[in-house]
Amino acid sequence: MARNNPLSLGRDLAIDLGTANTLIYVRGQGIVLDEPSVVAINANDGRPVAVGLEAKRMIGRTPNHIKAIRPLKDGVIADFEVCEKMLRYFIQKVHASKWSKPRMVICVPSGITGVEQRAVQDAAEYATSEKVFIIEEPMAAAIGAGMPVHEPSGNMIVDIGGGTTEVAVISLGGIVTAQSVRVAGDELDEAVLQYIKKEFSLAIGERTAEEIKIQMGSAWPMEQEITADIRGRDLISGLPRTLQVTTEHIREALAEPISAIIDAVKTTLDKTPPELAADIMQDGIMLTGGGALLGGLDERLSHETGMPIRVADEPLYSVVIGSGRALENIDAMRGLMSLGGER
Ligand code: ADP
Ligand code: MG
């Protein structure tokens, strides 16, 4: 009944519960929330002191009694209680009230277990008292990137997020073959941090490592190689120090995790049925997720696989847009989603 109430229109939600970022799409409005999946908790009483962007700013800067937690860090729900609090906070932030009984589509990392998925659904159902549909990440990403997932043709999608890289081949509205590896943006940050420590005896924080990766990381020689100053703490003197690094240094730092991502793409190609592989050869591989923005990753993948590579228009939004499209066409797309307890 509530569904026909004009007050409830525009309240149906699609949520991309990502390991790095959570995004919410409201039916008829578009993306209304885009925040890091981070919660700062006061260890004394277990209460959240900040959620989202504000909490991310605190990473590496908290006093002892505050902990900045990423509840989905490795593509699994590392801290369920915190994850639930975060999800509820975000849903309330977009003013979805229980009384409007919003319908909801949630996209979760495909590495999570059935029990964890059930728990996410419970948290969302608690916040809305309505049925919650779950859509698999590669499916949502492919729809959001504008791929013709219902056609009898091979659509290959590579979603490089914070905690996981998901590679999948989709045809006729179903996932034909898929792989999820726990090497993505976070591993790249960690590789930068370790490299700077080992090569230059300089300690930097995880947020600085991410900034360096975003500003100057690459997977293929750049047209313009640059040098930048980075600041950290000298491991020998213990004092703050400034260091000059080049894009070549950072490329070397990223080499290993990037190879792991490329291997995941190659293994999936290897398992793809020949007809679909021929389609991919023609239509190319679609890159999405924040990691798709890494400099030269497309050239590198094209060089290593011999396939044409495309980068989604707004890679950080593909999943939430795809989930939003599934929400807008819930009856037609019902087959692509699962309801509570189906998995
Ligand atoms: P998730 O879906 O797991 O939440 P996202 O798709 O939101 O992840 O991507 C987040 C990751 O993308 C982070 O590791 C972030 O550092 C990385 N990222 C964002 N922008 C860039 C960029 N320009 N170059 C390289 N990596 C980027
Ligand atoms: Mg994602």
Render 50-65 in DSSP notation, one character per residue.
EETHHHHHTTT---TT
Summarised one tens digit per residue, pLDDT across range 85-96 is 899 899 889 876
3-state secondary structure of 165: strand
Q: CA 317, 176, 267, 342: dihedral to nearest 10 degrees?
A: 70
Ligand 1 neighbour 163 (Cβ under 6 A): yes
- Percent of the chain whose predicted confidence (pLDDT) is above 90: 75
> What distance in Å separates the CA atoms of residue 106 and residue 83, rounded to the nearest whole number?
14
Atom of ligand 1 nearest to the CA of 16: 2
Q: Whole-angstrom distance between the N-terminal and C-terminal Cα of the chain?
A: 28
What lies within 8 Å, CB to CB, of 120 at 6+ separation is: 17, 77, 83, 87, 106, 108, 112, 134
Q: Give the global pTM.
A: 0.93
Ligand 1 neighbour 295 (Cβ under 6 A): no
The sign of the torsion formed by the CA atoms of 19, 292, 318, 273 equals negative
Task: Give the residue ranges of DSSP H helices in the chain.
Answer: 53-57, 80-93, 114-128, 137-144, 185-200, 206-216, 247-270, 274-283, 297-305, 318-328
Ligand 1 neighbour 18 (Cβ under 6 A): yes
**Cα-only R_g, the chain:** 21
Residue 50 pairs with which residues in a beta bridge?
A: 40
What confidence tier does 98 reach under pLDDT thresholds 50, 70, 90?
A: low
pLDDT at 1: 36
Summarised one tens digit per residue, pLDDT across range 292-341 is 999 999 999 999 999 999 999 999 999 999 999 999 998 888 888 887 54
In the block, residue with structure tokens 């609090």: 85
Number of H helices, E strands in the chain: 10, 17
Query: Could you give phi then psi for residue 135, rounded to 5 degrees?
Result: -120, 140
The residue count of the chain comes to: 343
Atom of ligand 1 nearest to the CA of 210: 16
